Structure 1
Amino acid sequence: MNQLGHFKQQIQTINNKTNMEIFQTGLLWQKVEVIDDAILLITRNKRVPALQALDQKDRITTRLIDQALLEEYKERLKKALVEQLGIDFVTIFKDYDPDTEISVTIIIKKGKLTQNLRG
């Protein structure tokens, strides 16, 4: 396996572990792409059952809870990536669509990744 493939596997492992810590369940699937100074994660997550039950009756509240969970996820993911891979960040963006259970995370790194991961 080349360095880029190994790096993507490490990102997937860290991402899945972070989801397990917060949501008590792993990802259904995930895809990692590296583009210059950005890491793109596209994942399918199982909706938290309690939030799913409330979505129809009180979407405003569940949206606020979703946002709080996204913020916690970003903090934990950033900490894990810094500790385990030494990645220096500019920012992390994340959004989640509860209807499709798909989330997108964009990690903007300081400097380009692809130059260091060829092989």
Structure 2
Amino acid sequence: MHTEPTRPESPLILLASDDPRLAADLHLALREQNFAVEFAPGYVEMEGLADAHEHAIVLLEVSRHQSVEAAVELALRIKRSNANRFVGYLADSILLNSGLAGDAIFPRNPHDLTLALRNHFRVV
């Protein structure tokens, strides 16, 4: 008897942004690609959700330079509460050298993001 290997399911992702409209579009794109995603319209709302649920992956979308400090502070608080939780950023290349501290930086383009997440986490 032959069985197909099981495909890894998408780990639960928590997504927030300094631009709720952009994050809503990314949320929709990820869900359309069968990622399990919970959306927080901002960093403050994300912190409450991060404390309430054990998301395997936390993604902070950073579209403005003035948001870098708030995103880094949130990432550090999340890591202090659970060092094993993956914290990544979605950022343009101009922000890559701006002091972001986390596990990875992913592209904000929805197509490139889904490919990067699939590759990084080995999910189908």
Q: TM-score, normalization: structure 2?
A: 0.27
Q: TM-score, normalization: structure 1?
A: 0.28
**Structure whose residues are more often strand by fraction:** 1
